[in-house]
Amino acid sequence: MHILKNIKNMKSSISIITVSLMVFFFFSCNNEKQADNASSAAPSTTKKDSAADKGIGKFTNIRLTHPLDDSMVVRGKNIYDSKCMSCHKLSDEKLVGPGWKGVTDRRTAEWVMNFITNTNVMLDSDLVAQQLMVTCVARMPNQNLGDDQARAVLEYMRKNDGKN
């Protein structure tokens, strides 16, 4: 009885979690945006967190330049081809990890940079990264990129998202 009572008290928070999980499983991890919309009836913190979330790491203020830096885009593409392509498509289709289409819209530049350079800490402690890990059912290995390499990949992602 005691346990049942506790379960009842926790019902509302459990149902929020359940709804979020169901939505995440229903849509694959690359469709988080739609998942947010679909779950608008139930409060979801994902979107709010993503909008200003800088993740965990040393990058707190990335200055994005316009127009894109073409040499960084080329370097970023080379890194993508050799170290990321096996798990990430450039479309919004999931492979092992989420497709990269729209990643610069759903994440801040700081979050992306911190995730790429501080992958294990982010996967252990960042809420958004942890949700990705649940929906992708895989854990991204740290790719050991230097700061400049991570920045070049970010520029390539911006290019892929049609930024200029």
Residues that bind ligand HEC (CB under 6 A): 79, 83-84, 86-88, 96-98, 103, 107, 112, 115-116, 123, 132-133, 136, 138-141, 143, 145, 153
Q: Which amino acid is at 148?
A: D
The nearest distance, CB 64 to ligand HEC, in angstroms, is: 15
Rounded to whole angstroms, the Cα distance separating 75 from 68 reads: 13
- Of 9 and 86, nearer to ligand HEC (C-beta) is 86
The nearest distance, CB 100 to ligand HEC, in angstroms, is: 7
The nearest distance, CB 132 to ligand HEC, in angstroms, is: 4
CB 155 within 8 A of CB 68: yes
- Of 72 and 133, nearer to ligand HEC (C-beta) is 133
- Of 38 and 87, nearer to ligand HEC (C-beta) is 87
Q: For residue 47, how many C-alpha atoms fall within 13 Å in the half-sphere facing its CB?
A: 14
Rounded to whole angstroms, the Cα distance separating 155 from 143 reads: 17
The nearest distance, CB 7 to ligand HEC, in angstroms, is: 30
User: In this chain, which residue has its C-beta nearest to ligand HEC?
Assistant: 97
- Of 9 and 82, nearer to ligand HEC (C-beta) is 82
Scan for tokens 């127009």, then name that residue.
67
Can you give the length of the chain in residues?
A: 164
The residue among 86, 104, 72 whose CA lies nearest residue 141 is 86
